[in-house]
Amino acid sequence: MRELRVTPIKNGTVIDHIPAGLALKVLKILGIGDSVTSTVTVAMHVPSRAMGWKDIVKVEDRELGSREIDKIALIAPTATVNVIRNYNVAEKRRVTLPDRAVGLLRCANPNCITNAREPVESEFVVRSKNPLRVVCKYCDRELEEIVAHIV
Amino acid sequence: MSGFRGRDILSIRDLSRADIELVLKAAKKMAPVAAGTRRSRSLEGKILATLFYEPSTRTRLSFESAMARLGGRVLGFSGTEGTSVQKGETLADTIRMVESYSDAIVLRHPQEGAARLAAEFTERPVINAGDGAGQHPTQTLLDLYTIWDEKGSFQGQNVTLVGDLKYGRTVHSLTYALAELGAHLTFVSPPTLEMPREILEHVKEKGLTFRSTHRLEEVIRDSDVLYVTRIQRERFPDPQEYEEVAGSYRVDEAILRDAKRGLIIMHPLPRLTEIAPEVDRTKHAVYFKQASNALPVRMALLDLILGGEE
């Protein structure tokens, strides 16, 4: 029998099947820093039948919004998001990369109009999902280093 | 009928091959009106707003002249001094205000994507007259008109683009359009100023072959159109990079000895040293004509968009 390295949580979210090594970036996307009020468990480099190795993030007492899930899709398109209520998986969701990433990324072009004080959200057109390539709808530039530009 | 009425012109890539051909044919019909030998009042009662957040003589004056030749009126500003922009008004707010004063808006702005943003805040058609290092679709249309008017077609023409192919917005837009129209493309630039990879990929996706070289001498004899651009100091993040490539190419009588008789030489102007003054006297030089083609092309576009003529 396998020993559980991470104990089950009562309520919250389990983000599973994160590509190995990206768990800390997922934490960044979720804004998990100093002001966290619940327990966050991170398991890195966990054996996985499907992926070889994977990372897992468990956040107690928090359910993710669709925008947060979209952001996770930008860096971990294989991830699954399980909503846990009273120790049971209440919802199982695979993250899906939208065709357009609205308000998720900041354009790297300092001269792009979306970086000026204008009342618009950034918007990127997903040109290819694997490898991920996105182009700013406004200035037409392809965004390099996508993770570094997550809002 | 044309599908142009009320339409935004933000990027040349928004226009299909049929759209481009329609504009070129309409421009040909406009040529006598542009020259003042035929009169038209097709845009009488229409008002065009020209919002130039950075100065431009050629583009602004040709839009104003185009509107006047068709009987319409123009209002706007050139440079933001004394406008509410200086008080910190957003582009979005300025556009919402100008909307109620005009039937169409021409915008030049120093930031990329400004025209697309403007179009989202108004029902009026927006024409992009240059957004930073981004798009300048009416320049591309007049470039295309010049090639078409001089050579009769695009298909199979050997078009050679020379100079700064990395930062130059006119050559990027022109490449997209010529790939759509089936021209053979050759790219000549210093190694540090080559055409961006994504544009080359686009040309390949269109099923076209192209050639890239650093030496103009190698390709001059095969060219039907030579499109020369200035290496622009202001586009270089690093001044040293500019110094290394400034003056890389010079089109003069010596290099033209190998050229085809029917070669045409184009340049978006202003030029520095990349075309020698002696070339102006040759049959090859069409760059001043190209500049004057701005008028019929912009007239045709305004007429199609504002729907003055049936």
pLDDT tens-digit profile of A27-45? 988 888 777 888 999 999 9
- How many domains does the structure of chain B reveal? 2
Rounded Cα gap, residues B47 and B70, in angstroms: 11
Q: Is the pLDDT of residue B207 over 50?
A: yes
Q: What pLDDT is stored for residue B95 in this prediction?
A: 97
Q: What pLDDT is stored for residue B234 in this prediction?
A: 76
> Identical fold at A12-94 and A100-149?
no
* Nearest chain A alpha carbon to B235: A111
Residues B258 and B219 in one domain: yes
Q: Is the pLDDT of residue A1 over 60?
A: no
Q: Inspect the interface and report whether the beta carbons of A111 and B133 lie closer than 8 Å.
A: yes
Tell me whether the omega of the peptide bond preceding residue B32 falls within 30 degrees of 0, making it cis.
Answer: no
Rounded Cα gap, residues B134 and B11, in angstroms: 9
Residues B153 and B107 in one domain: no
Q: What pLDDT is stored for residue B5 in this prediction?
A: 94
- Counting one residue from A and one from B, how many pairs have CB atoms under 8 Å apart? 53
Residue B74 vs residue A151, higher pLDDT: B74
**Number of residues that this document lists for chain B:** 310
Residues B302 and B261 in one domain: no
Q: What pLDDT is stored for residue A30 in this prediction?
A: 86
Tell me the helix, strand and coil percentages in chain A, rounded to 5.
15, 40, 45
Q: What pLDDT is stored for residue A3 in this prediction?
A: 62
- Strands B210-213 and B184-188, bridge-based pairing: parallel
Q: Inspect the interface and report whether the beta carbons of A139 and B117 lie closer than 8 Å.
A: no
Q: How far is A150 from chain B (nearest CA, A)?
A: 20
Q: Which fold has domain A12-94?
A: Alpha-Beta Plaits (3.30.70)
Catalytic (active-site) positions of B:
58-59, 87, 108, 136
Answer yes or no: is B4 within a domain. no
**Number of residues that this document lists for chain A:** 151
pLDDT-derived band at B64 (thresholds 50, 70, 90) equals very high
Q: What pLDDT is stored for residue B146 in this prediction?
A: 98
Q: Is the pLDDT of residue B217 over 90?
A: yes
Residues B124 and B149 in one domain: no
Q: What are the pLDDT digits (tens) for B24-58?
A: 999 999 999 999 999 999 999 999 999 999 988 88
DSSP state of B133: T
Q: How far is B117 from chain A (nearest CA, A)?
A: 7
Q: What pLDDT is stored for residue B133 in this prediction?
A: 85
Task: Inform me whether the C-beta atom of residue A109 falls under 8 Å from chain B C-beta atoms.
Answer: yes
Residues B181 and B104 in one domain: no
DSSP state of A2: P
Q: How far is A66 from chain B (nearest CA, A)?
A: 25
Q: Inspect the interface and report whether the beta carbons of A139 and B109 lie closer than 8 Å.
A: no
Q: What pLDDT is stored for residue B71 in this prediction?
A: 96
Q: What are the pLDDT digits (tens) for B75-85?
A: 999 998 888 88
Q: Is the pLDDT of residue A2 over 80?
A: no
Q: Is the pLDDT of residue A93 over 90?
A: no
Which residues partner with A56 through β-bridges? A43
Q: Is the pLDDT of residue B99 over 70?
A: yes
The residue type of A106 is R
Residues B174 and B77 in one domain: no
Q: Is the pLDDT of residue B310 over 50?
A: no
Enter the tokens of residue A10: 């009562």
Q: Using an 8 Å CB-CB cutoff, list chain B residues near A117.
A: 88, 90
Q: Inspect the interface and report whether the beta carbons of A138 and B117 lie closer than 8 Å.
A: yes
The residue extents of the domains of chain A are: 12-94, 100-149
Q: What pLDDT is stored for residue B309 in this prediction?
A: 47
Residue of B11, B112, B117 lying closest to A111 (CB–CB)? B112
Residues B208 and B232 in one domain: yes
Mean of pLDDT over chain B? 93
Q: Inspect the interface and report whether the beta carbons of A140 and B134 lie closer than 8 Å.
A: yes
Architecture of domain A100-149: Roll (2.30)
Q: What pLDDT is stored for residue B11 in this prediction?
A: 95
Q: What pLDDT is stored for residue B248 in this prediction?
A: 87
Q: How far is B257 from chain A (nearest CA, A)?
A: 40
**Neighbour count for residue B27 (Cβ, 10 Å):** 27
Residues B54 and B146 in one domain: no
* Nearest chain A alpha carbon to B10: A138
Residues B34 and B92 in one domain: yes
Q: What pLDDT is stored for residue A5 in this prediction?
A: 64
Q: Inspect the interface and report whether the beta carbons of B109 and A113 lie closer than 8 Å.
A: yes
What CATH number is given to the structural domain containing B86? 3.40.50.1370
* Contact present, A134 and A147 (Cβ < 8 Å): no
Residue A2 vs residue B229, higher pLDDT: B229
Rounded Cα gap, residues B45 and B73, in angstroms: 7
Q: HSE on the CB side for B272, CA within 13 Å?
A: 10
Q: What are the pLDDT digits (tens) for B127-183?
A: 999 998 889 999 999 999 999 999 999 999 999 999 999 988 899 999 999 999 999
Answer yes or no: is B218 within a domain. yes
Q: Inspect the interface and report whether the beta carbons of B112 and A117 lie closer than 8 Å.
A: no
Q: What are the pLDDT digits (tens) for A49-85?
A: 989 999 999 999 999 888 888 889 988 888 999 999 9
Q: Is the pLDDT of residue B198 over 80?
A: yes
Q: Which domain holds residue B100?
A: 12-135+293-306
pTM: 0.88
Task: Inform me whether the C-beta atom of residue A139 falls under 8 Å from chain B C-beta atoms.
Answer: yes
* Ramachandran angles phi, psi of B62, nearest 5°: -70, -35
pLDDT-derived band at B237 (thresholds 50, 70, 90) equals confident
Mean of pLDDT over chain A? 90
Q: Using an 8 Å CB-CB cutoff, list chain B residues near A138.
A: 112-113, 116-117
Q: Using an 8 Å CB-CB cutoff, list chain B residues near A142.
A: 198
**CA-angle at B86, arms to B85 and B92, nearest 5°:** 20
Q: What are the pLDDT digits (tens) for A12-31?
A: 999 999 999 999 989 988 88
Answer yes or no: is B27 within a domain. yes
The residue behind tokens 């003054």 is B277
